[in-house]
Structures are given as C-alpha cells and as structure tokens.
Amino acid sequence: MKQDSTTKRQARVERRTSETQISLSLNLDGGRRTIDVPDGFFSHMLDALATHGGFGLEIEAQGDTHVDLHHTVEDVGICLGEAFVEALGDRRGIVRFAHAYAPLDEALARAVVDISGRGFLASSLPPELENTWVTQQFPLSLIVDFFHALADRGRMTLHLDVLTARNGHHAAEAAFKAVALALRQAVTLRAGGGEGDVPSTKGTLTA
C-alpha cells in the first residue's frame, strides 16, 4: 500500500484460533482507546502503550486463560504487529529509527527501534527479576513474549532493556512506556509527510 499525506494510517486485524479470539484496530495518528482483555495488568500495559505512543487502539480479546495468559498475551502482540505493518503501508516518509528511555521511580527502561522490515527482538531484564511474577497470573517474562511477537509480526527491530528495577510492575511499565515513546518517534512522518522517500538505501522497507 503506497501512502501519501492524505492516507489514513490505520488498520484492523482479527485472529481466531482454538486458543484466542482477538479483534484489534490501530490508528497511528491517534483516536479512541478501548482495551478489553482478560487481565487487568495486561490491560494497564496496553493502555500505557497506546497513551504514550499517541495511538488510537481498540482491542477485544478472549483466550484460554484457564490454561494461563501466555496465548492471549502473545496473540495480542501478533495482532498488534500485523496492524503496524498494515497501517504503515510502504513506510514512505517515516523517521524509521528512534530510541527512548522511560523511568518509573527506581526502574529505568531503554527501547531502540528500527522500522526495518525485519522482525527481531533483543531484550534483557535484571537477572534478579527474570523469574518474578508481577501478579499471581502475570510473570514478568511474559512481556518478552509480547514484544517478541510485536517485533516479529510488525517487521521491526527492537532492542529493549530494563536497565534497573526493584519490582516487576515498575520494570514492565517502564518497558512498555519506553517502547511506546520510541515507536511514536519512529512512525512519525518527516517533512513532506507520506509523500517522502522510503528511508532505506535499498529503496524499500517491505521486501
């Protein structure tokens, strides 16, 4: 999809499997935010991602939470990544590269993103927190699975490091906010808007 300055950068994705049923709408340039997922903490993180990313985001998700939250969290990441691909189109005129730091009290996270056309995640958590649980249902390690799905299906390179933290909630929230801020910058249209060049020496970010 070739985009120009009048193109609406938005997408709608649905996923139906025996494990999850998800409907997701994304608008890169803002809009309504409604999050309906079967876990309060995950909903809080998704709302933070949309709020600080400046995105319109509507999600309705159900999943086999009687097993655990993994399938639901990962599949929402898959859908969000696919929505980024659709909403970005040929990625013409975007900034592409961005980085951001986000603190939350003692926690500090860093996100570096390249809307590269290649899905890749490199991540790290403080070793003492890697096996902790944010809530009784949500292990901190699950945020890595979410961002792996987002980066892979969104065809973006993401380096995400929680540099320091004392508890899992702060670590996770700082990570989501850092990614939101980096993505907000990376998808911004440069001078000339969507009619600008594709920011790649290859001439494409989709092949």
Q: Which amino acid is at 103?
A: P
190-205: average pLDDT: 72
Helices (H), 54-207: 70-88, 142-154, 168-186
7-25: average pLDDT: 96
Q: Which helix (H) or strand (E) holds 161?
A: strand 157-164
What is the fold, at CATH topology level, of the domain defined by 10-195?
Ribosomal Protein S5; domain 2 (3.30.230)
Beta bridge partners of 61: 22
Whether 56 shows a pLDDT value over 80: the answer reads yes
Is the dihedral angle over the CA atoms 57, 63, 65, 71 positive or is it negative?
Answer: negative
Whole-number average pLDDT of the chain: 93
Confidence of residue 1 (pLDDT cuts 50, 70, 90): very low
Q: pLDDT tens across 131-181, in order? A: 999 999 999 999 999 999 999 999 999 999 999 999 999 999 999 999 999
